Amino acid sequence: MKVFKFGGASVNSVERIQAVGDIVADHMQQPLLIVISAMGKTTNALEKVVEAFYAENKEMALQLFDQVKQQHITTAKYLLTTGYLACEAQLKDFFTEVEWLLHDKPVREYDYYYDQVVCVGELLSTAIVSHYLNQQHITNTWLDVRDIIRTDDNFRDAIIDWDFTAKAVAHIKEGLLKDNGIVLTQGFIGCTDENESTTLGREGSDYSAAVFANLLDAESQTIWKDVESVMNADPKVFPEAKPLHHLNYREVIEMAFYGAQVIHPKTIKPLQNKSIPLLVKCFLNPALPGTVIDGNGVKELPPIVVLKEKQVLLELTSKDFSFVSEHHSTELFKLFEKFKFKPNLTQNAAIQLHCVVDDLSEKIEALALEASSIFDVSIRKNLSLLTIRHYTGEYYNKITANRTILLKQQTPETIQVLMTEE
Ligand code: ASP
Ligand code: MG
């Protein structure tokens, strides 16, 4: 039994969906559970719909949603012949669910509406792909993952109820997946016990797939991406980036923690806990080796670079020249918790605390305001946080040349520097 995850880029055109069909057709000799994201940039487009709705700009919200509708209808028309009408009926049900909501006035919190609207991206993409595969005689069952993945109501970052979900997954394992069955469902979304849709955090489909892999005791999980493999740096920023064909869970969890965009940070734990290998493969060329991530030791890794841009430095200085104590740090971390906000790096000095955070202006302002009762707060923007794992002096000097370094933190394995943007 294998779990496949196809991301938004792998289903963002007719040709790509056809290529997904070819990949699945090559792996039909075993049970397959397939998790798919929303097409291309649909999630971003739906975020704009929610923003307009919450700003009580109903016309705009409906108009933006209409664009999403048209894109999906057009794709379905190109792909489907016999199955088109059945697919259209399914898509229309989802459209109606959202449109009803958009006609209301917002009375609850933003994050609740976000999840009710944004979840439709995955429902639409999977409906289209499922109908297409069936048309190609790749017989599969489409499931609404909201009947399987149960979560709490922490909208936009919901936590999975593993007990409920495990039972629902066991049912699928004993039923639909028997006899080399194929199940196709959504990543990223779930549902509360009150039947409200939830989402698991942006890019969360990798995690959904890992939850399934864990509960199915899958032989492996494959994430199909548009890159040849995991690289030791972002090739768009560092053209000399090299492929990494073998990594272990620990390395990937560290990379994700420091901000590498490769795989959603929550993905590794469910796989590691059951020793399930994670394969990263290129959907543009499935013959390429890709990357295997497992529990085995990996020797001789090259320097691995993660660059986080648009970083902000908060300098918090104690008001009366007193030393920064446990009390100060505790108060500060309480604030981070309150605003659901995590520093990417912290450093203490005698009378100062330094925190490096993502540039989320509203949260920063709110946090700075509250922190100003205990600290003098200064904010510096437009910085980059560079992390190098397995660094060498030579490599470090090369990539930090001509940059002003504001903070540095170092262990024998990892070096992190906060620097001015180029
Ligand atoms: N569609 C969601 C997003 O774009 C989830 C995912 O792609 O993993 O964040
Ligand atoms: Mg995606």
Digit-coded pLDDT (tens) for 30-75:
999 999 999 999 999 999 999 999 999 999 999 999 999 999 999 9
Instruction: Specify the 3-state DSSP secondary structure of 391.
Output: coil
Q: How confident is the model at residue 374 (pLDDT cuts 50, 70, 90)?
A: confident
Confidence of residue 320 (pLDDT cuts 50, 70, 90): confident
The domain 2-226: what is its CATH number?
3.40.1160.10
d(CA 212, CA 148): 10
Worst-scoring range by mean pLDDT, 116-130, 242-256, 340-354? Answer: 340-354
Atom of ligand 1 nearest to the CA of 188: 5
Specify the ligand 1 atom closest to the Cα of 204.
8
| Spans of all domains in the chain | 2-226, 304-420
Residue 8 beta carbon below 6 angstroms from any ligand 1 atom:
yes
Q: For position 380, what pLDDT does the model report?
A: 96
Output the six-digit token pair for 201. Answer: 């955090």
Six-digit token string for 403: 């940059």
What's the mean per-residue pLDDT of the chain? 95
**CA 89 to mean position of chain CA atoms:** 29
> Coil, helix or strand for 196?
coil
Atom of ligand 1 nearest to the CA of 41: 4
pLDDT(422) > 80: no
Q: Which H helix or E strand runs over 380?
A: strand 375-389
> What CATH architecture applies to the domain 304-420?
2-Layer Sandwich (3.30)
The percentage of residues in the chain with a pLDDT greater than 90, rounded to a whole number, is 85
Residue 203 CA, ligand 1 centroid: distance in Å: 4
For ligand 1, the distance from its centroid to the CA atom of residue 16, given in whole angstroms, is: 17
Distances (CA, A) of 365 to 51, 177, 372, 378: 20, 50, 10, 11
Residue 402 has pLDDT above 90, yes or no: no
- Residue 88: alpha-carbon gap to chain centroid: 28
Write down the pLDDT at residue 416: 96
Lowest mean pLDDT among 33-42, 219-228, 297-306: 297-306
Average pLDDT of the residues in 241-258: 93
- How far is the C-alpha of 180 from the C-alpha of 182, rounded, in Å? 7
Confidence class of residue 262 from pLDDT cuts 50, 70 and 90?
confident
Please tell me the distance between residue 8's alpha carbon and the centre of ligand 2 in angstroms.
5
- pLDDT score of 288 more than 80: yes
Atom of ligand 1 nearest to the CA of 206: 8
Q: How confident is the model at residue 168 (pLDDT cuts 50, 70, 90)?
A: very high
Question: For residue 8, how far is its CA from the centre of ligand 1 (angstroms)?
Answer: 7
Above 80 in pLDDT, residue 324?
A: no
pTM of the shown model: 0.91
Please name the residue whose Cα sits nearest to atom 8 of ligand 1.
203
Nearest to residue 115, comparing CAs of 64, 144, 153?
153
| Cβ(303)–Cβ(231) below 8 Å | no
Greatest distance between any 2 Cα atoms in the chain: 76
Q: Whose CA is nearest to atom 3 of ligand 1?
A: 203
Query: Is the distance from CB of 308 to CB of 385 less than 8 angstroms?
Result: yes
Could you give the CA distance from residue 410 to residue 268 in angstroms, rounded to a whole number? 25
Angle at the Cα of 254 (from 289 to 346), degrees rounded to 5? Answer: 150
Task: Report the C-alpha gap between 96 and 74 in whole angstroms.
Answer: 18
